[in-house]
Amino acid sequence: MTQQIPETIESGTPPARQAAGAGRLAGGRLRVWDIVFFVVSAAAPLTVVASAAPTTMRLGGVGAAGAILVCGAILVFFAVGFTAMSRHVRNTGAFYAYASRGLGKPVGIGTALVTVFAYIVLSVSFYGFLGFFAQLTFANLVGLDLPWPIWSLIAVACVAFLGYRKVDVGAKVLAVLLTAEVGILLVLSIAVLVNGGPEPWSAAPFAPEAVFLAPGVAALFVTGFGAYIGFEGTAIYSEEAKDPSRTVPIATYIAIGFLAVFYAFTFWMITVAFGIDGVVDLVASDDFESTIFIAGEQYLGSWAGAALQVLIVTSFFACLLAFHNASSRYVYSLAREGLLPKRLARTHATSRSPHVASTTIALIAVVAILVAAATNADPILQLGIWSYGAGVSGLVFAQAVAAVSVIGFFARDRRGYGRFRVVVAPVIGALGLIGGFLLIVLNFQYVTGLEPGANALLIMPTPVLFVAGIVWGLVLRRRNPAQYAELAESRTD
């Protein structure tokens, strides 16, 4: 049962901190499927299938479908321990609280800084992508040709409005948008299955040699792990969930399982639609970015091409809303801890949303869009991909730290869990995520297309923020032991 918490004092939060201005989130508002919609929307399934799939096949071969399943399996192993820990650590700061409890509060602060940075720059990157595709879509379909910054700023206004409202309002919007983008991809996949492709079905995309021995194996796994970005968001909503000890684990498994099966199936359907030889030729051509649109028109008709153009825009909007909400809650959590200005921890009197943090992040996005527009930056190649690359590397790093934190948390006391759930599975998940982070960093040019020096500048914030957070925590422990003792303790069993 969900415990009712008095309005004035947050469970587990010292009254002194509450008096300093921190508000509380609306508990018991999100159900399993609400959280699933937030998390899966952050992964942006349509944009992954339409953009990442052909690009990955171009760089790494047809084994993309198999690599997606391997990455999903690694994340399931991580989730086994992650969800066990979620029963004992409930904090909207998620990775911050996990790292603090598993590896120490200084490491938790470092992880928090990396995660906040990653979420915010990922949000900024999606404004660039959305602006670009919205400009093309409205110009092609209705003849309304507005500059991309206008569409991006409209998206900021819509996201800020929904972020200001109750969290379940955003979940309902995401449910509609996600259903539409997943629906058209399933309709397309069924049409391919019914009509058949130019070649017999082939299991080659799942063959070990196509997955692990392909010349472009690094590219396969860079996309493989990147496709699940945001799955950890289930823990971010633990304070707003109904029965979080049950809701968070179920939502995590559903999100990872759905994404793994959906991505693998749709990636495979692309190879069926054109045949193994045909898809290799297509992704090697200049039209490789239009692969999914070509398939849509070929198997469903011209209406599908138009629908996919619209849904690409709504997919990015859904992704934006999910990442904006996650960013707001991380900022709120750190402000509540006194690590950021207390004003950012205020919640709306009626909706209980972290409206100050949400508005602040929206303003950061506005500044980034205006700077990009003033400097004539390309919305895709610069604002989009550069920010995306920096955000992905940071978030996968934070996932790897969280995986190690699970091991540390249960090292001395398994708390009644079996060895597989809190030792073996977390170790496998941690090794897989560490390997994934190294693959991304060592092959960063596949993400950004930049030279090594420029890539280093984009990757640098992650280690710098992590080390700075650790130093900050050590200094805080010495200078303000009372505040240090309270860190990562709110909403913790």
- What architecture is domain 27-410+421-486? Up-down Bundle (1.20)
Among residues 324, 335, 329, 337, which one has the least CA distance to residue 492?
337
Assessment of whether the complete model's pTM goes beyond 0.85: no
Interval 297-354: pLDDT, tens: 999 998 888 888 888 898 888 888 878 888 888 888 888 888 889 899 888 777 677 8
Domain boundaries, the chain: 27-410+421-486
What is the pLDDT, as a whole number, of residue 16?
41
What is the pLDDT, as a whole number, of residue 381?
79
pLDDT by position in tens, the chain (length 493) = 333 333 333 333 443 444 344 556 555 667 787 788 777 877 778 888 987 888 889 888 899 999 999 999 999 999 898 888 877 876 666 788 889 999 999 999 999 999 999 989 988 988 998 998 899 889 988 999 999 999 999 999 998 888 776 545 556 776 787 788 889 999 999 999 999 889 888 999 999 999 988 887 877 888 888 888 777 767 667 667 777 777 878 888 898 999 999 999 999 999 999 999 999 999 998 888 788 889 999 999 988 888 888 888 988 888 888 788 888 888 888 888 888 898 998 887 776 778 889 899 999 999 999 999 999 999 987 898 888 888 888 988 998 999 999 999 999 889 899 999 999 999 999 999 998 889 888 888 877 778 889 999 999 999 999 999 999 999 999 999 998 988 876 444 4
